[in-house]
Amino acid sequence: MPESGKKRIALVTGASGAIGGAVAELLAQRGEDVYLGYRSQRESAEARAAYLRETYAVQAVALPLELLDRESIRRAVQQIHEQSGRLDILVHSAGVARDKLLIQTQERDFDESLEIHTASLFRLLQACLPVMRSHRYGRIVAFTSYAALHGRAGQSAYAASKAALIGLIKAAALEEIPHGITLNAVAPSVTESAMTDALSNSERARLLAAIPIGRMQTSAEAARLAVWLTSQEASSISGQVLEADTRMHRW
């Protein structure tokens, strides 16, 4: 466990996106040093890292991270360990949506969902857990989805891959709790992001009509629960899926 008052070291995947960026900022607000993993949006990730350094006086580093490549993940974790001496927090927020009816979904779309959401988490865990185990401390949170728990028409590939992520988190949590490492998942409802920005006006209206509070969650609201799960207050919680929504009506 980190020494009292000492900054923890966090890696956030998908940190150039809305939710990942919000997670990185909330961690920085808490005084944690943050590595912002990005795949292609280098300028966005570097600008966000610079903002965090200037605003919160923490170490914030934009880190290239190809989640489909085991070697890229290994190099990224090695860089963090060499520069910071440890890795305390992993938040996996990278995601992709290829929304189509099941009969229209191409196999490559299904495979991509599994790779980005589940297989990449498997690779991340294999790279990060030995480092965390060596310090007998770790906090791991992965974003799943309302769709994984309750289904959603037009999201068969997305829902299936996010559901598989839950199984991975729950199994790994049982293995890692003796080593001082907790693993949990957060299942947001529909959240304002680049994915929802692409919705047509009619799709947005139909979606909002299904949400009791009449609006989508903000990225900060979705991120806040994930960051809480990395805190001391949540140290006894592991292997859980916390739903961050107001129970959508069926749609």
Q: What is the pLDDT of residues 45-61, one digit of tens each?
A: 999 999 999 999 999 99
Query: Looking at residue 80, what is its pLDDT?
Result: 97
Look up the CATH number of domain 9-244.
3.40.50.720
Residue 71, CB-side half-sphere exposure with 13 Å CA sphere: 0
What's the chain's length in residues? 251
pLDDT band at 251, cuts 50/70/90? Answer: very low
Q: Is the dihedral of CA 228, 57, 63, 25 positive or negative?
A: positive
Query: Looking at residue 170, what is its pLDDT?
Result: 97
At 191 the three-state DSSP class reads strand
Question: For the chain, where are the alpha helices, taking DSSP H only?
Answer: 18-29, 42-56, 70-84, 107-114, 120-135, 146-150, 156-176, 194-197, 201-209, 219-228
Active site residues: 158
Tell me if 64 sits within 8 A of 11, measured CB to CB: no
* Weakest-pLDDT range from 17-21, 111-115, 208-212, 227-231: 208-212
CA distance 87 to 127: 11
Average model confidence (pLDDT) for the chain? 88
CA distance 78 to 208: 43
Tell me if 219 sits within 8 A of 191, measured CB to CB: yes
Domain boundaries, the chain: 9-244
Query: Looking at residue 148, what is its pLDDT?
Result: 60
* Weakest-pLDDT range from 89-103, 160-174, 193-207, 224-238: 193-207
CA 133 to chain centre: 21
* Weakest-pLDDT range from 30-44, 112-126, 147-161: 147-161
pLDDT in tens, 80-124: 999 999 999 999 998 777 778 877 778 888 788 888 889 999 999
Please count the other Cβ atoms lying within 10 Å of the Cβ belonging to residue 233: 9
